Structure 1
Amino acid sequence: MHLIIKNMVCPRCVTSVEEIFKKNKMPIKYVRLGEAELSEEPSKDQLQQLGEDLKQTGFEPLDDQKTQLVEQVKSLLIQKVQSGSVEEHFSVSKYLGEHIYKDYSAISRLFSEVEGITIEQFFILQKIEKTKELLVYNEESLSQIAFNLGYSSTQHLSNQFKKVTGMTPSQFKQLGMSHRKPINSVRP
Protein backbone atom coordinates (compact mmCIF):
# COMPACT_ATOMS: atom_id res chain seq x y z
CA MET A 1 0.00 0.00 0.00
CA HIS A 2 1.32 3.41 -1.01
CA LEU A 3 0.67 6.43 1.25
CA ILE A 4 1.22 10.12 0.56
CA ILE A 5 2.07 12.06 3.72
CA LYS A 6 1.80 15.84 3.95
CA ASN A 7 4.38 18.10 5.66
CA MET A 8 7.42 15.84 5.29
CA VAL A 9 10.20 18.26 4.35
CA CYS A 10 13.50 16.96 5.72
CA PRO A 11 15.40 13.79 6.64
CA ARG A 12 14.28 14.16 10.28
CA CYS A 13 10.68 13.94 9.05
CA VAL A 14 11.47 10.60 7.40
CA THR A 15 12.91 9.31 10.68
CA SER A 16 9.89 10.55 12.65
CA VAL A 17 7.44 8.88 10.26
CA GLU A 18 9.43 5.61 10.33
CA GLU A 19 9.17 5.65 14.14
CA ILE A 20 5.40 6.17 13.94
CA PHE A 21 5.07 3.16 11.61
CA LYS A 22 7.21 1.04 13.94
CA LYS A 23 5.18 2.16 16.97
CA ASN A 24 2.04 1.02 15.15
CA LYS A 25 3.73 -2.27 14.17
CA MET A 26 3.20 -1.59 10.47
CA PRO A 27 5.79 -3.21 8.19
CA ILE A 28 7.25 -0.64 5.79
CA LYS A 29 9.13 -1.14 2.55
CA TYR A 30 10.38 2.46 2.59
CA VAL A 31 9.69 5.97 3.79
CA ARG A 32 10.76 8.96 1.68
CA LEU A 33 9.90 12.63 1.75
CA GLY A 34 6.16 12.82 1.27
CA GLU A 35 5.51 9.10 0.84
CA ALA A 36 5.68 5.64 2.36
CA GLU A 37 5.17 2.13 1.07
CA LEU A 38 3.79 -0.56 3.36
CA SER A 39 4.58 -4.22 2.78
CA GLU A 40 1.15 -5.32 3.99
CA GLU A 41 -2.36 -3.88 3.73
CA PRO A 42 -3.28 -2.42 7.16
CA SER A 43 -6.70 -2.77 8.75
CA LYS A 44 -9.07 0.19 8.91
CA ASP A 45 -8.35 0.58 12.64
CA GLN A 46 -4.58 0.55 12.03
CA LEU A 47 -4.94 3.23 9.34
CA GLN A 48 -7.07 5.38 11.64
CA GLN A 49 -4.54 5.07 14.49
CA LEU A 50 -1.68 5.81 12.08
CA GLY A 51 -3.50 8.93 10.87
CA GLU A 52 -4.00 10.15 14.43
CA ASP A 53 -0.35 9.52 15.35
CA LEU A 54 0.88 11.26 12.20
CA LYS A 55 -1.33 14.30 12.90
CA GLN A 56 -0.04 14.55 16.49
CA THR A 57 3.48 14.90 15.05
CA GLY A 58 2.48 17.48 12.44
CA PHE A 59 2.06 15.14 9.46
CA GLU A 60 -1.08 14.15 7.62
CA PRO A 61 -1.87 11.12 5.48
CA LEU A 62 -3.66 12.13 2.29
CA ASP A 63 -6.28 10.04 0.59
CA ASP A 64 -7.65 12.47 -1.99
CA GLN A 65 -5.84 11.86 -5.30
CA LYS A 66 -5.69 15.55 -6.26
CA THR A 67 -4.18 16.51 -2.91
CA GLN A 68 -1.76 13.58 -3.18
CA LEU A 69 -0.57 14.78 -6.57
CA VAL A 70 -0.01 18.33 -5.30
CA GLU A 71 1.93 17.01 -2.30
CA GLN A 72 4.00 14.81 -4.58
CA VAL A 73 4.91 17.86 -6.70
CA LYS A 74 5.83 19.84 -3.58
CA SER A 75 7.95 17.00 -2.19
CA LEU A 76 9.85 16.55 -5.45
CA LEU A 77 10.62 20.26 -5.69
CA ILE A 78 11.59 20.57 -2.02
CA GLN A 79 13.92 17.58 -2.44
CA LYS A 80 15.50 19.13 -5.53
CA VAL A 81 16.15 22.45 -3.78
CA GLN A 82 17.38 20.79 -0.58
CA SER A 83 19.85 18.73 -2.62
CA GLY A 84 21.61 21.99 -3.49
CA SER A 85 22.23 20.87 -7.05
CA VAL A 86 19.84 22.74 -9.31
CA GLU A 87 21.26 23.13 -12.81
CA GLU A 88 21.29 26.62 -14.38
CA HIS A 89 18.77 25.75 -17.08
CA PHE A 90 16.70 23.49 -14.83
CA SER A 91 13.22 22.85 -16.23
CA VAL A 92 10.54 22.31 -13.61
CA SER A 93 8.15 20.88 -16.20
CA LYS A 94 10.73 18.42 -17.55
CA TYR A 95 11.78 17.38 -14.04
CA LEU A 96 8.20 16.75 -12.92
CA GLY A 97 7.46 14.96 -16.20
CA GLU A 98 10.31 12.54 -15.46
CA HIS A 99 8.94 11.77 -11.99
CA ILE A 100 5.18 12.11 -12.40
CA TYR A 101 3.84 10.55 -15.55
CA LYS A 102 1.03 13.02 -16.16
CA ASP A 103 0.47 15.98 -18.47
CA TYR A 104 2.33 18.99 -17.05
CA SER A 105 -0.38 21.51 -17.95
CA ALA A 106 -2.95 19.46 -16.00
CA ILE A 107 -0.59 19.18 -13.02
CA SER A 108 0.14 22.90 -13.21
CA ARG A 109 -3.57 23.84 -13.30
CA LEU A 110 -4.36 21.57 -10.37
CA PHE A 111 -1.41 22.87 -8.34
CA SER A 112 -2.49 26.50 -8.89
CA GLU A 113 -6.08 25.64 -7.94
CA VAL A 114 -5.10 23.92 -4.70
CA GLU A 115 -2.15 26.09 -3.62
CA GLY A 116 -3.11 29.49 -5.02
CA ILE A 117 0.30 29.94 -6.67
CA THR A 118 2.00 28.43 -9.71
CA ILE A 119 4.45 25.56 -9.50
CA GLU A 120 7.21 27.92 -10.68
CA GLN A 121 6.39 30.43 -7.92
CA PHE A 122 6.50 27.63 -5.36
CA PHE A 123 9.89 26.53 -6.70
CA ILE A 124 11.27 30.07 -6.50
CA LEU A 125 10.00 30.43 -2.93
CA GLN A 126 11.75 27.19 -2.00
CA LYS A 127 15.01 28.43 -3.53
CA ILE A 128 14.73 31.72 -1.63
CA GLU A 129 14.12 29.88 1.67
CA LYS A 130 17.16 27.68 0.98
CA THR A 131 19.17 30.82 0.26
CA LYS A 132 18.05 32.30 3.59
CA GLU A 133 19.11 29.13 5.39
CA LEU A 134 22.55 29.15 3.78
CA LEU A 135 23.03 32.87 4.43
CA VAL A 136 22.13 32.59 8.10
CA TYR A 137 24.49 29.69 8.69
CA ASN A 138 27.31 31.17 6.59
CA GLU A 139 27.69 27.85 4.81
CA GLU A 140 28.42 29.26 1.36
CA SER A 141 29.13 32.54 -0.41
CA LEU A 142 26.31 34.20 -2.32
CA SER A 143 27.95 33.28 -5.64
CA GLN A 144 28.21 29.62 -4.57
CA ILE A 145 24.58 29.65 -3.44
CA ALA A 146 23.53 31.15 -6.79
CA PHE A 147 25.46 28.48 -8.68
CA ASN A 148 24.09 25.60 -6.57
CA LEU A 149 20.49 26.78 -6.89
CA GLY A 150 20.59 27.23 -10.67
CA TYR A 151 20.80 31.00 -10.95
CA SER A 152 22.66 32.42 -13.96
CA SER A 153 24.43 34.96 -11.73
CA THR A 154 24.65 36.37 -8.23
CA GLN A 155 22.77 39.41 -9.50
CA HIS A 156 19.87 37.22 -10.72
CA LEU A 157 19.62 35.61 -7.28
CA SER A 158 19.90 39.00 -5.54
CA ASN A 159 17.15 40.51 -7.71
CA GLN A 160 14.81 37.57 -7.12
CA PHE A 161 15.63 37.55 -3.41
CA LYS A 162 14.75 41.25 -3.11
CA LYS A 163 11.56 40.79 -5.15
CA VAL A 164 10.37 38.00 -2.82
CA THR A 165 11.62 39.27 0.55
CA GLY A 166 11.77 43.03 0.05
CA MET A 167 15.43 43.12 1.08
CA THR A 168 18.81 42.27 -0.37
CA PRO A 169 20.64 39.10 0.70
CA SER A 170 23.13 41.20 2.71
CA GLN A 171 20.32 43.05 4.50
CA PHE A 172 18.69 39.72 5.30
CA LYS A 173 21.97 38.31 6.58
CA GLN A 174 22.27 41.21 9.03
CA LEU A 175 18.76 40.48 10.36
CA GLY A 176 19.40 36.75 10.76
CA MET A 177 16.99 33.90 11.48
CA SER A 178 13.92 35.94 12.40
CA HIS A 179 12.72 36.05 8.77
CA ARG A 180 12.90 32.34 7.95
CA LYS A 181 9.77 30.26 7.52
CA PRO A 182 9.28 26.51 7.89
CA ILE A 183 9.72 24.95 4.43
CA ASN A 184 6.20 23.50 4.31
CA SER A 185 4.57 26.87 5.05
CA VAL A 186 6.33 28.96 2.40
CA ARG A 187 3.85 31.31 0.71
CA PRO A 188 4.19 34.51 -1.31
Structure 2
Amino acid sequence: MKVFIKFDFTQFCSRILDEKLNELNIKYRMLNFGEIEFLESVPADKLKAFDAILKEYGIEKIENQKVILVQKIKDTLIDMVLNANEGQNVKSSVYLSDKLGHSYGYLSNLFSEVTYTSIENFIILQRIEYAKSLITNTDLSLTEIAFKLQYSSVAHLSTQFKNTTGITPTTFQRIIAKRRTLKSN
Protein backbone atom coordinates (compact mmCIF):
# COMPACT_ATOMS: atom_id res chain seq x y z
CA MET A 1 0.00 0.00 0.00
CA LYS A 2 1.24 3.47 -0.86
CA VAL A 3 0.32 6.57 1.15
CA PHE A 4 1.02 10.17 0.13
CA ILE A 5 1.99 12.60 2.87
CA LYS A 6 1.81 16.38 2.79
CA PHE A 7 4.28 18.22 5.00
CA ASP A 8 3.76 21.58 6.66
CA PHE A 9 7.42 22.52 6.96
CA THR A 10 6.66 25.67 8.92
CA GLN A 11 4.83 23.73 11.62
CA PHE A 12 7.39 20.93 11.55
CA CYS A 13 10.35 23.27 12.02
CA SER A 14 8.55 25.35 14.64
CA ARG A 15 7.74 22.23 16.67
CA ILE A 16 11.35 21.00 16.51
CA LEU A 17 12.67 24.40 17.58
CA ASP A 18 10.14 24.63 20.42
CA GLU A 19 10.94 21.14 21.73
CA LYS A 20 14.71 21.55 21.54
CA LEU A 21 14.83 25.04 23.04
CA ASN A 22 12.64 23.87 25.92
CA GLU A 23 14.89 20.82 26.45
CA LEU A 24 17.87 23.17 26.71
CA ASN A 25 15.86 25.46 29.01
CA ILE A 26 16.44 28.47 26.76
CA LYS A 27 13.89 31.24 27.07
CA TYR A 28 12.86 32.59 23.67
CA ARG A 29 10.02 33.79 21.51
CA MET A 30 9.27 33.15 17.85
CA LEU A 31 9.16 36.38 15.86
CA ASN A 32 8.52 35.05 12.35
CA PHE A 33 9.13 31.77 10.63
CA GLY A 34 12.86 31.12 10.95
CA GLU A 35 13.39 33.99 13.37
CA ILE A 36 13.89 33.51 17.12
CA GLU A 37 14.68 36.05 19.81
CA PHE A 38 16.46 34.80 22.91
CA LEU A 39 14.96 36.49 25.97
CA GLU A 40 18.09 36.17 28.09
CA SER A 41 21.79 35.66 27.63
CA VAL A 42 22.48 32.11 26.48
CA PRO A 43 25.70 30.42 27.61
CA ALA A 44 28.09 29.35 24.84
CA ASP A 45 27.76 25.65 25.70
CA LYS A 46 23.96 25.80 25.28
CA LEU A 47 24.31 27.63 21.96
CA LYS A 48 26.76 24.99 20.77
CA ALA A 49 24.37 22.22 21.85
CA PHE A 50 21.50 24.03 20.09
CA ASP A 51 23.55 24.30 16.86
CA ALA A 52 24.38 20.58 17.03
CA ILE A 53 20.72 19.63 17.53
CA LEU A 54 19.66 21.82 14.60
CA LYS A 55 22.24 20.18 12.32
CA GLU A 56 20.74 16.75 13.10
CA TYR A 57 17.52 17.99 11.45
CA GLY A 58 19.22 19.75 8.55
CA ILE A 59 18.54 23.16 10.08
CA GLU A 60 21.31 25.70 10.46
CA LYS A 61 21.60 29.00 12.27
CA ILE A 62 22.32 31.95 9.98
CA GLU A 63 24.24 34.93 11.30
CA ASN A 64 25.18 36.95 8.19
CA GLN A 65 22.51 39.66 7.73
CA LYS A 66 22.57 39.47 3.93
CA VAL A 67 22.17 35.70 3.99
CA ILE A 68 19.35 36.06 6.52
CA LEU A 69 17.46 38.46 4.26
CA VAL A 70 18.01 36.23 1.21
CA GLN A 71 16.62 33.28 3.18
CA LYS A 72 13.59 35.42 4.10
CA ILE A 73 13.17 36.24 0.40
CA LYS A 74 13.29 32.52 -0.48
CA ASP A 75 10.84 31.60 2.29
CA THR A 76 8.46 34.38 1.24
CA LEU A 77 8.62 33.35 -2.41
CA ILE A 78 8.05 29.69 -1.62
CA ASP A 79 5.07 30.68 0.55
CA MET A 80 3.78 32.84 -2.33
CA VAL A 81 4.02 29.93 -4.80
CA LEU A 82 2.53 27.31 -2.47
CA ASN A 83 -0.30 29.50 -1.23
CA ALA A 84 -1.19 31.40 -4.39
CA ASN A 85 -4.83 32.36 -4.60
CA GLU A 86 -6.10 30.80 -7.79
CA GLY A 87 -7.16 33.43 -10.28
CA GLN A 88 -5.72 36.23 -8.15
CA ASN A 89 -2.35 37.05 -9.66
CA VAL A 90 -0.17 39.19 -7.39
CA LYS A 91 3.12 40.56 -8.70
CA SER A 92 6.07 39.04 -6.90
CA SER A 93 7.73 42.45 -6.66
CA VAL A 94 4.75 43.92 -4.78
CA TYR A 95 4.34 40.81 -2.66
CA LEU A 96 8.01 40.78 -1.59
CA SER A 97 8.17 44.52 -0.90
CA ASP A 98 5.00 44.36 1.22
CA LYS A 99 6.09 41.28 3.18
CA LEU A 100 9.71 42.27 3.80
CA GLY A 101 9.51 46.06 4.00
CA HIS A 102 12.25 46.78 1.45
CA SER A 103 12.15 48.05 -2.12
CA TYR A 104 12.03 45.37 -4.77
CA GLY A 105 15.16 46.82 -6.40
CA TYR A 106 17.14 46.35 -3.20
CA LEU A 107 15.79 42.82 -2.62
CA SER A 108 16.41 41.82 -6.24
CA ASN A 109 19.99 43.10 -6.26
CA LEU A 110 20.79 41.45 -2.92
CA PHE A 111 19.25 38.14 -4.02
CA SER A 112 21.28 38.12 -7.25
CA GLU A 113 24.46 39.09 -5.40
CA VAL A 114 24.16 36.25 -2.88
CA THR A 115 22.59 33.47 -4.98
CA TYR A 116 23.95 34.28 -8.47
CA THR A 117 20.44 33.93 -9.91
CA SER A 118 17.43 36.19 -10.24
CA ILE A 119 14.29 36.25 -8.15
CA GLU A 120 12.30 35.54 -11.32
CA ASN A 121 14.35 32.42 -12.04
CA PHE A 122 13.94 31.24 -8.44
CA ILE A 123 10.15 31.68 -8.73
CA ILE A 124 10.09 29.67 -11.96
CA LEU A 125 12.07 26.87 -10.31
CA GLN A 126 9.71 26.83 -7.32
CA ARG A 127 6.62 26.81 -9.54
CA ILE A 128 8.00 23.92 -11.60
CA GLU A 129 8.91 21.96 -8.45
CA TYR A 130 5.37 22.53 -7.17
CA ALA A 131 3.95 21.48 -10.56
CA LYS A 132 6.01 18.26 -10.39
CA SER A 133 4.68 17.64 -6.88
CA LEU A 134 1.09 18.21 -8.02
CA ILE A 135 1.54 15.91 -11.02
CA THR A 136 3.06 13.23 -8.79
CA ASN A 137 0.75 13.49 -5.78
CA THR A 138 -2.64 14.57 -7.14
CA ASP A 139 -5.04 13.75 -9.93
CA LEU A 140 -5.21 17.36 -11.15
CA SER A 141 -5.14 17.92 -14.89
CA LEU A 142 -2.46 20.11 -16.45
CA THR A 143 -5.12 22.78 -16.99
CA GLU A 144 -5.97 22.74 -13.28
CA ILE A 145 -2.29 22.81 -12.33
CA ALA A 146 -1.61 25.74 -14.69
CA PHE A 147 -4.54 27.63 -13.16
CA LYS A 148 -3.45 26.80 -9.60
CA LEU A 149 0.07 28.04 -10.30
CA GLN A 150 -1.26 31.18 -12.03
CA TYR A 151 0.09 30.40 -15.49
CA SER A 152 -1.71 32.20 -18.30
CA SER A 153 -2.14 28.88 -20.14
CA VAL A 154 -1.12 25.23 -20.19
CA ALA A 155 1.23 26.14 -23.06
CA HIS A 156 3.03 28.66 -20.81
CA LEU A 157 3.38 26.02 -18.05
CA SER A 158 4.58 23.45 -20.60
CA THR A 159 7.19 25.82 -22.04
CA GLN A 160 8.64 26.71 -18.63
CA PHE A 161 8.45 23.06 -17.51
CA LYS A 162 10.37 21.88 -20.58
CA ASN A 163 12.92 24.72 -20.33
CA THR A 164 13.55 23.83 -16.68
CA THR A 165 13.43 20.03 -16.71
CA GLY A 166 14.16 19.14 -20.33
CA ILE A 167 10.86 17.26 -20.72
CA THR A 168 7.24 18.28 -21.11
CA PRO A 169 4.74 17.92 -18.26
CA THR A 170 2.91 15.27 -20.30
CA THR A 171 6.11 13.22 -20.61
CA PHE A 172 6.69 13.69 -16.88
CA GLN A 173 3.13 12.40 -16.21
CA ARG A 174 3.81 9.33 -18.36
CA ILE A 175 7.07 8.62 -16.49
CA ILE A 176 5.29 8.87 -13.12
CA ALA A 177 2.44 6.63 -14.34
CA LYS A 178 4.96 4.07 -15.64
CA ARG A 179 6.83 4.06 -12.30
CA ARG A 180 3.58 3.53 -10.41
CA THR A 181 2.72 0.61 -12.69
CA LEU A 182 6.15 -0.97 -12.20
CA LYS A 183 6.02 -0.54 -8.41
CA SER A 184 2.57 -2.10 -8.12
CA ASN A 185 3.66 -5.23 -10.06
Q: Per the shorter chain, which TM-score range?
A: 0.7 to 0.9
Match of 2:99 in 1: 99
Aligned to 1:126: 126
Output the CA distance in 2 between the equivalents of 1:9 and 1:67.
20
Tell me the TM-score normalised to structure 2 length.
0.80
CA distance in 1, matches of 2:160, 2:10: 24
TM alignment of 1:47-62, pairs within 5 A: 47-62=47-62
Structure 1 vs Structure 2: percent identity of aligned residues? 33
The more displaced of 89-98 and 59-68 is 89-98
The answer for unaligned runs of 5 or more in structure 1 is: 1-7, 178-188
- Aligned position for 1:110: 110
CA offsets 1:22-78 (integer angstroms, 9 cap, x no match) = 322234433754x13346134142323212211221011111100000000001111
For the aligned residue pairs, the C-alpha RMSD in angstroms reads 2.3
TM-score with structure 1 length normalisation?
Answer: 0.79
Looking at structure 2, the residues matched to 27 and 83 of structure 1 have their Cα atoms a distance apart, in angstroms, of 32
Question: Which residues of structure 2 form unaligned runs of 5+?
Answer: 1-7, 178-185
Query: Which structure: larger Rg?
Result: 2
Distance 1:42 1:80, change over 3 A: farther
Query: What is residue 182 of structure 1 aligned with on the other side?
Result: none
From the superposition, tell whether residues 173 and 15 of structure 1 become closer, same or farther in structure 2 (CA, over 3 Å).
farther
Partner of 2:150: helix, strand, or coil? coil
Match of 1:30 in 2: 30
Q: 1:154 to 1:79 in 2, by over 3 A?
A: same
Label 1:86 to 1:75 Cα distance change in 2 as closer, same or farther (>3 A): farther
Larger RCO of the pair (alpha carbons < 8 Å, separation 6+):
1
Are residues 123 and 79 of structure 1, via their aligned partners in 2, closer, same or farther at CA, if it must alter by over 3 Å? Answer: same
2-side partners of 1:40 and 1:70: how far apart? 25
The 1-side partners of 2:41 and 2:53 are apart by 15
Cα contact 1:108–1:119 (8 A) shared by 2: yes
| Regions of 4+ moved over 6 Å | none
Structure 1 residue 161 displacement after superposition: 0.7
Between stretches 143-152 and 14-23, larger displacement belongs to 14-23
In the other structure, the counterpart of 2:141 is 141
Greater mean alpha carbon deviation, residues 63-72 or residues 20-29: 20-29
